[in-house]
Amino acid sequence: MRLLTCKQFLQELNDYLDETLDPKMRADLQRHVEECPNCWVVCDTTQKTLRVFKGMEAQPIPGEIHSRLMAALEKRMRDDPRSLCRRKTEV
Amino acid sequence: MSVWLLDWRVTLRVSTSSTIPGFDESALVVRAKAGDMEAFSDLVSHYERRVFRMAKQITQNDDDASDVLQETFLKAYTHLDDFQGNSKFYTWLVRIAVNEALMKLRKRRSDRTVPLDEPIDTGEDEVAREIAVWDQNPEDSYSRDELARILDESIQSLKPAYRTVFILRDIEEMSIEETAEALGLSISAVKSRLLRARLQLREKLTRQFKRKGDDAFAYL
């Protein structure tokens, strides 16, 4: 079994977290993280960092921005109806 | 030849919810491509929040994000025939939005090179300076608004080159390959930037969330 340095562990951290490593490399990293308290903390807090960002829900957009978007779309659909119905008329 | 009648006076349905009951992206895209305005409206309602959030995170500005949001859906409407369905519709939408957002950044920083072309650290100096366990789950310790503010400030402190990769990969949950394609970067560049982004965010959040007892200087 290969002994990794902390630097090597950090370089592989992404693939370790994303679970895209081959089993051999994953086992090496697993062994390192179990034996190195600092890397365990870095790994754990990076996982938590990703989790907290992934859990961030997109908030409703301000009403005026939504209204502006819908008004612009309605205008485009009126001005340029062919872009969506061209296929039908060409049949 | 079939006759296709559309009432262009129809007003797009204004939805305040981001969730369409029984939302089926593929079916809506097929209907929208056939000219069904309501289907396109449903796609807009379903994705507008995420597109706006992404645009705001990249541009860091409400006005620019609003412009990006509008341009993204107008372009999606105009070029819907070009969408071949080889990727998810949302991935295609994200590509448009990212390009629009980066154009905003480029215009704003006209005295600088394109943000994504900035020299990137090689990673040789990747170190973890803040090594401390977190107090508890941030979700339990902070209100939703307060947590959102902390996350926003953290992500906005990243360089655009790192920020954009992180947003696509870890917030929009695109694959490494999709992120690389959307940004015109190599796979290795995406991986390198993503690692830097993740480690930098971890550092920033650790300063915020670390367990106080673990910090020798916490009581000074």
The answer to whether the CB of B69 falls within 8 A of the CB of A69 is: yes
- Of the residues B154, B202, B204, B210, the best mutation for testing chain A's interface (the one with the most A CB atoms within 10 Å of its CB) is B202
Chain A residues in contact with B194 by the CB 8 A cut-off are: 14
Interface predicted TM-score of the whole assembly (ipTM), two decimals: 0.84
Residue A67 to residue B12: CA distance in whole angstroms? 10
- The H-or-E segment that residue B185 falls in is none
| pLDDT value, residue B137 | 83
| pLDDT value, residue B135 | 81
- Of the residues A5, A67, A77, the best mutation for testing chain B's interface (the one with the most B CB atoms within 10 Å of its CB) is A77
Closest chain A C-alpha to B37 CA, distance in angstroms: 8
pTM of structure: 0.80
Among A56, A62, A86, beta carbon nearest to B148? A56
The answer to whether the CB of B6 falls within 8 A of the CB of B35 is: yes
Among B8, B155, B194, beta carbon nearest to A14? B194
Could you tell me the residue ranges of all domains in chain A?
A: 1-54
Residue B158 to residue B193: CA distance in whole angstroms? 11
**Which residue has better confidence, A34 or B140?**
A34
DSSP state letter for B210: B
Amino acid identity, position B211: R
Residue B28 to residue B26: CA distance in whole angstroms? 5
DSSP state letter for B6: -
pLDDT tens digits along A20-41 = 899 999 999 999 999 999 999 9
Mean pLDDT throughout B34-41? 88
Percent of chain B with pLDDT over 90: 53
- Mean pLDDT score of chain B: 81
Burial A71-81 (b: 16+ CB within 10 A, else e): ebbbebbeeee
pLDDT tens digits along B49-89 = 999 999 999 998 899 999 999 999 999 999 999 998 888 89
Tell me: pLDDT of B111 over 50. Answer: no
Chain A residues in contact with B5 by the CB 8 A cut-off are: none
| pLDDT value, residue B28 | 94
Q: Is A60 exposed, middle or buried (0-12, 13-18, 19+ CB in 10 A)?
A: middle
| pLDDT value, residue B126 | 58
Lowest average pLDDT, out of A31-45, B112-126, B198-212, goes to B112-126
| pLDDT value, residue B7 | 40
Question: How would residue B45 be classed by pLDDT, with cut points 50, 70 and 90?
Answer: very high
Among A53, A65, A67, beta carbon nearest to B52? A65
Other beta carbons less than 10 A from residue B91's beta carbon: 17
The answer to whether the CB of A52 falls within 8 A of the CB of B147 is: yes
- Of the residues A8, A41, A91, the best mutation for testing chain B's interface (the one with the most B CB atoms within 10 Å of its CB) is A41
pLDDT tens digits along A43-80 = 999 999 999 999 888 888 999 999 999 999 999 888 87
| pLDDT value, residue A30 | 94
Please name which of B130, B146, B131, B191 lies closest in space to residue B166, comparing C-alpha atoms.
B191
DSSP secondary structure letters along B18-68: S--TT--HHHHHHHHHTT-HHHHHHHHHHHHHHHHHHHHHHH--HHHHHHH
| Strand spans (E) along chain B | none
